[in-house]
Amino acid sequence: MSASSRLLDGIDSPADLKKIPEAELPRLAQEIREELIGTLAETGGHLGPNLGVVELTIALHRVFDTPSDRILFDVSHQGYVHKMLTGRRTRLATMRQHGGLNGFLLRTESEHDCYGAGHAGTALSAALGMAAARDMNGGTEHVVAVAGDAAFTCGVSYEALNNVAETTKRFLVVLNDNEWSIAKNTGAIASYLNRIATSPSYAHLHDQAAKFVEWIGGKGARQLVGKIETGVKQILFPGVIFEELGLRYYGPIDGHDIPLLIRTFEFLKTQNEPVILHILTKKGKGYAPAMAKPDKFHGLGKYSADTGETVPGTAPTYSEIFGKTLADFADHNRKMVAVTAAMPTGTGLSQFAKRHPDRFYDVGIAEEHAALFAAGMATRGMKPFLAIYSTFMQRAFDMIVHDIALQNLNVALCMDRAGLSGDDGPTHHGLFDIAYLRSIPGVIAMQPRDEEEFADMLWTMANHHEGPVAIRYPRGAGTGAVPKKTPRLLEVGKAEVIRHGTDVALFGLGNFCEVAADVADLLEKEGIKTAVINPRWIKPLDTATLEFFARGTRLVCTLEDHAIAGGFGSAAAEHLSDAGISTTLVRIGWPDQFIEHGSVPILRAKYGLTPEAIAAKIRSELSRTKPLPKAGAIS
């Protein structure tokens, strides 16, 4: 097919989509898939989820009218097709690049993005709020919440469903059932939906679908409502759970049948009651590699469009080291268990699951439950390692305070993707965990400077027997340091002095210890004697080492992959103030704002977190100090 004859090239808005003959829409779906596969091979992104919702998104925009109608995508990582159909198709190649399209929906990116998201379970509550506001304002627009089946392992989704019937009479939920979140869905809800989809009645779906479409597409549709409802229930099993919650259930239907989807949406938009439509889709549909490995193609970097192969990293990632190291420790400790919230591959725990399946628990996208579950295990003498991305651990904050820390339970909190998460953007940056953890009494928190120290810290956590202990570590690989066969026990609250100096002391936390070393090299070239300290411990802080260098140098600088507000530098500033030590303190970290998406080098350069920029700031501060330490403002 020549580029000039593509239907896709003529679509700059949903209005253009509505002009295409319905018989041509399957062809459009194929063009969209080809564009996604070819473009994301160069940029990376959430390929599998978007391949699975091509027909659904076409049907939604065919029937509903955005931006007046509101379509919310839960998580919104499956919003690429929506972006292509709402005027952003020509920018697809900029996906997840700095200054380009965000990998999730953003209200600031387009008027068609009525709600931004990046975490699961938000769509139903937000959509219900929109429907309630519409009703109060006397509006007529439709509100549609599109949620994957994994969203129904989120407690907040059920909190929303509990209020639907009492809140509005016009509300549509599309349950996109593909049996996957990032990993294979687990739990009773997934099993329940699977029983519906695999029932004998559903085997006749394709035979009965034509009658269903005929019923709901004719002029007499309104008069046939009662007959339709009875017929649907005879053909397709109802979702008893949803009906009991006050939503009329329809489905399951084929989520890749565009005419069926269109007729169904046209019927459902006439209903004056909350409804839920259960559709069945295939994650990665139309691309064999993505269908064979849905977890891999949920979100990935560059790949070969022909084969689906990706270029392996040169060094193991922190996640991979975490999973292998924890599995090794568990070989000799029956009390160790691993818990995650739908992230067995992302956190590296798939290795643990293979070797210790009886001590591995994936609770689905339910971070609050995961934390409480771990707390319960800890009360019975187990040592749970709770592995959740930093950005998602935020959801379990109350449980960390109220259930784990308050009861001094021996739970290990392992926060993957701490710090900047680069291409995934503000919903996924782990820039706030130090601030929310160090305020909690009794929590021990640490961050390794490299992979070798990471293994030592995990060993130290495994041998910590009283109270919660937390570790944060970055996305991807570190310096390439190989963990030793026999890990070391680290002294809690004791920093490591890497090099001494009498002019400047650089406290480089975690992956910013390497940055501190580079800054020191630049300063030393100018005759500025610079100390480099690996803090290791966020809480308890090594106050003795901090005070020693605060009294013995002209300037102390803290560096961290975290927001400045409430971070490691704030802890240092608070202690020095309380101790009455007046010194010039420079805090380096991310500013008090949400950081956009983009590659780590680009964002570090933009916000002054490169060695060159940091060295320049230190030189500027030094120019205002005397040769001996003196009082100075905390910057």
Active site residues: 283, 367, 395
Distance CA 525, CA 96 (A): 38
The full DSSP string for 1-24 is --GGG-SGGG-SSHHHHHHS-GGG
Please name the residue that has the structure tokens 């229930």.
Answer: 233
**CA 137 to each of CA 65, 115, 140: distance values in angstroms, whole numbers, following the listed order:** 19, 19, 9
Rounded distance, CA 443 to CA 313, Å? Answer: 34
Strand order in the sheet with 383-389: 360-362, 336-340, 383-389, 412-416, 469-472, 444-446, 537-539
Rg (alpha carbons) of the chain, rounded to whole number: 27
The candidate with the shortest Cα–Cα distance to 503, out of 404, 623, 608, 357, is 623
Q: In terms of Cα–Cα distance, which of 189, 176, 187 is closest to 251?
A: 176
Angstrom distances, CA of residue 187 to CA of 364, 525, 542, 575: 7, 59, 44, 46
**Exposure of 407 by Cβ count < 10 A (0-12 exposed, 13-18 middle, 19+ buried)?**
middle
Neighbouring C-beta atoms of residue 346, cutoff 10 Å: 21
* Token couple for 269: 């938009």
The rounded distance, in Å, linking the Cα atoms of 544 and 521 is 25
Q: Which residues are within 8 A (CB) of 320 and not within 5 positions of it... i.e. 6 or more apart?
A: 348, 351
Q: Is 510 left (phi over 0), alpha (psi -120 to 50) or beta?
A: left
Tokens of 232: 């649907």
What is residue 147's three-state secondary structure?
A: strand
